[in-house]
Chains A and B, each alone.
Chain A
């Protein structure tokens, strides 16, 4: 795979040409924050962003999507979205999250709805320029990513270093005006990586993330769950902004003919009322503290057991920012357990 050095102006020209050809989703300002949205011009692209309000997950697993259509008494027909698109400006921690989602949606039972969108996506990732207020990617080992993207961009000040990660990315890179990256450019990139590996760390985890599953082995009855959940609204904000939360609900609706209709899935959250309620009204995880604990166990123990030990918290810090009572911060909970239980 090749590595190029591309002048920023030339990159803008490339982006505008790309927009003319295909659908491009890029990071843009939204008020005084940032978010992914359809990009109309390279002018609006903000690769210097800190963090987006929503992770790019929604382009693979939308908040609501039609899974199938049906006719009452007749067959069900799968519905797929099948449009190629480019996702521009994915930060390393979000890329790690997408890599994890890819694994989860393919393993055991292949989710063709997610994978159809995923295979239609071309991802141009970019290294972080400005750390967000709550990022802790350095603690989670996700400040730098070396896989999953089609192209990785690194801002080295006066130019971008662009490296392809896939044949699809290689083709894209061929369309960018630039020169093969020289040693100086590669060295600048190395220093960006070195800086980010340490610097994206507004909350510092007191252990190697690989230790977290073992930490949680002994923490099930720790008082921290109830202490924190006392002020939990069970509002699911932490679920809704998380790049690795993928629980969903499924609901039917019919058209006005009352004969045809669709089955849709929509994001759900393990913090919400009714999430575990079965017919007959029994709710298995009825207490807020049980739900609060479940989320943090899922991130650092349950999901890791399904994806080769990778911790399913990528340190984006979105839940920290979204949590009104300020209890969701995974680092502060895990650190509290380390303080009480020690390591090892």
Chain B
């Protein structure tokens, strides 16, 4: 069997998830040993139109990006959304909270706001444009989870990605609950798989892996009440990665 060809593409993002590939260090050589990387702008100059697995980083914010993504999808057998921008729209979705993007552009770019290269549209996650076969969640992605998913793919198996909250991994690590230390942690409604990295280091969960498939948002409302907070406190925490994600606490 010939080695599968992998191509990596980036859209609107900080390219930090790709950086995690580079950070694989020696393991990157293992990966290259079992798959051919044929296109990867961040690390090589070659380009290719033939690939089996397309890895998409970033969210979709322009019409021409939608077209480009559709073309990639048509060429790839398997398409992976990599990182929060690609899987849930990520931080880029913050802009969807503005009703009038033209106003925002005017404010940011002044008189240049009408220039064609600044054309923009509300941010979309990759699966709002094309079908996604596999998701590598997180901002940035977890290297261990990423390599596990790649190995699963090479074996022809569907990876088991947790559909339970971050609390599971957080408690298993023996962490005390950050809510008891006054932090508005999103762990109870956010998908695990990161090994509860933020709470283990004293930071609340920011929600970068997106919601579990059935987050109990009603429970979240009652909890904040118990801690003397308001829905607004929760909203401001959820908005970073949760903008216009379903379901949300926005009415």
| Interface residues of A, Cβ cutoff 8 Å to B | 30-31, 33, 35, 53-54, 63, 230-237, 240-241, 251, 253-254, 256, 258, 267, 269, 272-274, 288, 321-322, 324-326
Q: How far is the CA of A53 from the CA of B178 in the complex (A)?
A: 13
* Pairs A–B under 8 Å by Cβ, sample size 15: A53-B174, A53-B175, A53-B176, A232-B216, A232-B219, A233-B167, A233-B220, A234-B164, A235-B167, A236-B165, A240-B171, A241-B171, A254-B155, A324-B167, A325-B219
A274 and B163: CB pair below 8 A?
Answer: yes
Q: Most B CB atoms within 10 A — which of A234, A235, A274?
A: A235
**Chain A proximity mask over B158-173: 1 for CB below 8 Å, otherwise 0:** 0010011101100111
Q: How far is the CA of A253 from the CA of B160 in the complex (A)?
A: 11
Complex Cα distance A225/B222, Å? 17
Q: Is the CB of A272 within 8 A of B164?
A: yes
Q: Give A325 Cβ to nearest chain B Cβ, in Å.
A: 5
Is A324 in contact with B216, judged by CB distance below 8 angstroms? no
Flag if B172 contacts A235 (CB, 8 Å).
no
Q: Which residue of B lies closest to A251 (CB)?
A: B160
- A240 near B188 with CB under 8 A, answer no
Whether, in the assembled complex, B226 has its beta carbon less than 8 Å from a beta carbon of chain A, the answer is yes
Q: Per-residue CB proximity of B215-240 to A under 8 Å, as 1/0?
A: 11011101100100000000000000
Residues of A within 8 A of B163 (CB): 272-274
B220 nearest in chain A by CB position = A233
In-complex Cβ contact of A273 among B164, B167, B189 (8 A): B164
Top-6 shortest CB links A-B: A240-B171, A256-B30, A235-B167, A231-B219, A233-B188, A272-B164
- Chain A's closest residue to B163 (CB) is A273
Binding site for A on B (CB under 8 A): 27, 30-31, 33-34, 148, 151, 154-155, 160, 163-165, 167-168, 171-177, 179, 187-189, 212-216, 218-220, 222-223, 226
CA distance A254 to B148 in the complex (A): 8
- Cβ–Cβ contact B168 & A326, under 8 A: no
Write out the residue numbers on chain B whose beta carbons fall within 8 Å of the beta carbon of A267. Answer: 172
Residues on A with C-beta less than 8 A from B212 are 273
Please tell me if the beta carbons of B148 and A236 are within 8 angstroms of each other in the complex: no
B residues in contact with A325, CB < 8 Å: 219, 222-223, 226
With A256-B27, A258-B155, A273-B163 as contacts: A235 and B176 at CB distance below 8 Å = no
